Amino acid sequence: MVIRWVAINNQYHYILHTNPHILSMINDPISDFLIQLKNGNRAGHESATLPSSKLKLAMAEALVKAGYLKSVVRKGKKVKKFLTCELISVGGRPKISQIKRLSRPSRRVYFKAEDIKSVRQGFGHLFLSTSKGIMTGGEARQAKLGGEALFEIF
């Protein structure tokens, strides 16, 4: 038997399956988090409710700081914690148009501070995991910090 989170009407529920081959494994929770935000935004939803972790919360707060999300609220107790992310649409168009995952579990990508370049001539953002937390490429360059390149968003 396999227990899986499934989104129904923008809310997550546990689904129990007897055949484990029906469901795919989520090996990269960061990619899953980003794709759920992008898909919710493209579908026109006002918010997305996602399973929570410390890393996902830090990424969501960095996205709020960069202007890609309105707000993030952590809900729930103990094991059943959720993040409710309010999405932004500008003129009926989603703010998040594309997300490119750079560092994956099979291939990690690291940048030195001097190697961090702008994304889409300054219209996008690069997000890095540094020793001071998750921050955009510009913030990391100013602080002279390198780190693991998580994703680009524009």
d(CA 31, CA 46): 21
In a domain, 8, yes or no: no
Q: Domain range spanning residue 127?
A: 98-154
Residue 27: its pLDDT value, please?
A: 79
Distances in Å between the Cα of 117 and the Cα atoms of 33, 70, 98 are 24, 26, 18
Can you name the residues that pair with 53 across neighbouring β-strands? Answer: none
Q: What is the DSSP letter of 127?
A: E
| Angle CA 39–25–60, to nearest 5 | 40
The tokens describing 148, both together, are: 């693991």
Within a domain: 28: no
Mean pLDDT computed over 130-150: 96
* Tokens 């579990």, located at residue: 105
Whether residue 137 is contained in a domain is answered as yes
In this structure, is residue 62 part of a structural domain? no
State CA 80 to chain mean position distance: 19
Is 82 inside a domain boundary?
A: no
Tens digits of residue pLDDT in 30-67: 999 999 999 999 999 999 999 999 999 999 999 999 99
Dihedral angle of Cα 38, 42, 43, 47, to the nearest 10 degrees: 50
CATH number, domain containing residue 149 = 3.30.1490.10
Q: What pLDDT, on the 0 to 100 scale, is given for residue 23?
A: 43
149 domain residue, yes or no: yes
Q: Assess if residue 29 is contained within a domain.
A: no
In the block, which residue shows the tokens 């702008």?
Answer: 118
Domain count for the chain: 1
* Residue 71 domain flag: no
